[in-house]
Amino acid sequence: MQNKSLLLLLLALLIGFNPVKVNAQRKSKKDRVEAISNAEIVTNKNIATTPKLVVGIVVDQMRYDYLTRFWNQYGDGGFKRLVNDGFNCKNNHFNYAPTVTGAGHASVYAGTTPSVHGIIANDWYDKYADESVYCAGDPSYNSVGTSSDAGKMSPHRMQTTTITDQVRLHTQMRGKVIAVAIKDRGAVLPGGHTANAAYWFDGGAEGNWITSSYYMDELPKWVTEFNAQKSVAKYKKPWTTLKDINSYIESGADNNNYEGLFEGQSTPTFPHDLVGLWDNNGKYSILKSTPYGNSLTADFALEAVDKESLGTDNFTDFLAISFSSTDYVGHKWGVNSKEVEDTYLRLDQDLKRLFDTLDKKVGTGEYTVFLTADHAAINVPAFLRDQNLPAGVVESKKLNDRLTEYLKYTYGTTDIVKKTSNNQLFLDYRVIKSLDLDIDDVEEELALELIQYDGIYKVFTANQMWQNQYTSGIPYFVQNGFNQKRSGDVLMVFDPGSGNYGKTGSTHGSPWNYDTHAPLLFYGKGIKKGSTVNRTEIPDIAPTIAALMGMNAPSGTTGEPIEEVIE
């Protein structure tokens, strides 16, 4: 009976077995797995874009209107490529003061302001150490590639992570970060705390690219070979205009009283005989104040792309480039000079060279670029005054002499003010306490005194910065630049168009529009084509790249992703 039942059961199973149906079921299951996998791929694509290489470009001292002023002189492969095929944030601003190089580079890459990342200037007075410090200086490390102290640098004064640090963390340290600039701070701060390397240019008699023992004990072979080739020597030549100087109608006269001179020059005019001026102007260091400094930066950056194999694997790499020579040229000749115009036309060619090489080595559409500045600049006040525009020079000696007399008369001593740095007064708390004075009262009394001085627009106290939360206007800019541990006790803001300016060239540092309005262009993988006139701010850059890549933004981020930019 049991055998019969078992036989019937087996027969039923055989009758029910259908190979076609089973194969169909298997195929259906395979299709479902593939469909699920494809869905995951689509979902992942929507979550994050993974460029092979991110290229961050900071053009030192670039005003937004350099895009529009020189537009008709640019070729198609540099600035125009970024604008026409990328995304242009037309109303982009720094949202703090002082607007200077160190703070600017830190803010771009940290996604926040000096109030958080701590780089409040290029140099500042350390009130706890009672000494002046440099934003990238670090005597605990040694120079690599030079016998001078030019390599004793590190990012240790920056208190937050950077977008470059986040790329390293996001890729389990597999993605490389290389930072390159003429200026040390233009490489060290963008490279962040975890960069594989940061390189900067040491001029003088050698003209080498160097680094710090913070990154490595010796230069890589390719850097040593690059230095040994003396390829920078090809730039020891006269600086002539790229195009006919008569076509440079977007700038002022070549010979005027508003421009500086190289040592040994009698007029600030083209051509600039670099060969004849070489020895009296620091030898290779003179290249920093010419467009050739940007070209040699591009040369070295492209060598880094090749020798470090950037953008050639599945882990996103980051190349941080700062073109520093635009700042040196602007400071010497001014924003309205033919030298500045020529420098940007030549930079446009260097950008084309960079992008063309990345197309070949990384792949068209496989890399993402942003381009911005670390600050903008003002026309020299002497020029503005001659055009009947409001501008002036605040003479530091007169200001200090008047303040000294006030301190003596009011308190019987000048020791109340321990240091003046970056238009800020640092008070000596011990002296104030010994005089049985209240610090808040002294701050306010000094503010009331200083606001009477010519050229001073507003004065703020540390107590105001501590007690209030400003959301707009000049107080907002000042507070974003105010770091409780590092900033002073009384903070001065000069009138629009006024400041501690020289008689020639351009400078920067204020919270006014001419110093804050800087370009912001995005291009490449994951970036929409278009533009916006909505206000964007410098701290928005890092979180935008982080959102694009689907990773954490830097630790102190206060900016917001720019939604319009990302596909």
Q: What is the mean pLDDT of residues 506-514?
A: 96
pLDDT for the residue 415:
96
Strand order in the sheet with 317-323: 143-144, 208-212, 197-202, 177-181, 317-323, 53-59, 367-373, 520-524, 87-93, 530-537
Give yes or no for residue 386 having a pLDDT over 80: yes
Q: What is the pLDDT of residues 407-430, one digit of tens each?
A: 999 999 999 999 999 999 999 999
Q: What is the pLDDT of residues 168-191, one digit of tens each?
A: 999 999 999 999 999 999 999 999
**The model's pTM:** 0.91
Q: Which residue has the higher pLDDT, 9 or 221?
A: 221
Strand 417-421, strand 520-524: pairing: unpaired
Q: What is the mean pLDDT of residues 196-206?
A: 96
pLDDT for the residue 177:
98
Q: What is the pLDDT of residues 448-500, one digit of tens each?
A: 999 999 999 999 999 999 999 999 999 999 999 999 999 999 999 999 999 88
Give yes or no for residue 394 having a pLDDT over 80: yes
Q: Report the catalytic residues.
A: 101
244 exposure class (CB count in 10 Å sphere: 0-12, 13-18, 19+): exposed
pLDDT for the residue 45:
55
Q: What is the mean pLDDT of residues 433-458?
A: 97
Percent of the chain at pLDDT exceeding 90: 89
9-18, 404-413, 440-449, 555-564: range with lowest mean pLDDT: 9-18
- Long-range CB pairs of 464-467, under 8 A, 24+ apart, other chains included: 465/491
- Going by C-alpha positions, the residue among 114, 72, 4 that lies closest to residue 558 is 114
Look up residue 32 and give its amino acid.
R
Instruction: Fold for 395-453+456-494, please state it.
Output: Gyrase A; domain 2 (3.30.1360)
CA angle 514, 90, 296 (to 5 degrees): 75
Instruction: Fold for 53-386+517-565, please state it.
Output: Alkaline Phosphatase, subunit A (3.40.720)
pLDDT for the residue 44:
55
pLDDT for the residue 23:
40
Confidence of residue 293 (pLDDT cuts 50, 70, 90): very high
Residue 508 CA to residue 347 CA, distance in Å, equals 21
Give yes or no for residue 53 having a pLDDT over 60: yes
Confidence of residue 26 (pLDDT cuts 50, 70, 90): very low
Residue 544 CA to residue 534 CA, distance in Å, equals 15
Q: Assess whether the region 53-386+517-565 and the region 395-453+456-494 belong to the same CATH fold.
A: no
Give yes or no for residue 337 having a pLDDT over 70: yes
Confidence of residue 12 (pLDDT cuts 50, 70, 90): very low
- Report DSSP state, residue 137: B
Give yes or no for residue 440 having a pLDDT over 70: yes
pLDDT for the residue 4:
46
Report in angstroms the alpha-carbon separations of 221 from 95, 214, 228, 244: 42, 18, 10, 41
Q: Which residues are within 8 A (CB) of 28 and not within 5 positions of it... i.e. 6 or more apart?
A: none
Residue 97 CA to residue 512 CA, distance in Å, equals 9
Q: Which residue has the higher pLDDT, 407 or 1?
A: 407
Report in angstroms the alpha-carbon separations of 119 from 2, 284, 307, 418, 498: 89, 29, 32, 21, 24
32-46, 175-189, 193-207, 551-565: range with lowest mean pLDDT: 32-46
Per domain, the residue ranges of the chain are 53-386+517-565, 395-453+456-494
Cis peptide before 271 (omega within 30 of 0): yes
Q: Residues within the annotated binding site for substrate?
A: 122, 183-185
Give yes or no for residue 27 having a pLDDT over 90: no
- Share the mean pLDDT of the chain: 92
70-79, 271-280, 378-387: range with lowest mean pLDDT: 378-387
Give yes or no for residue 520 having a pLDDT over 70: yes
State which H helix or E strand residue 87 sits in: strand 87-93
Q: What is the pLDDT of residues 297-307, one digit of tens each?
A: 999 999 999 99
pLDDT for the residue 46:
72
Q: DSSP of 3-33, one letter per residue?
A: HHHHHHHHHHHHHH--HHHHHHHHHHHHHHH
Q: What is the mean pLDDT of residues 53-69?
A: 98
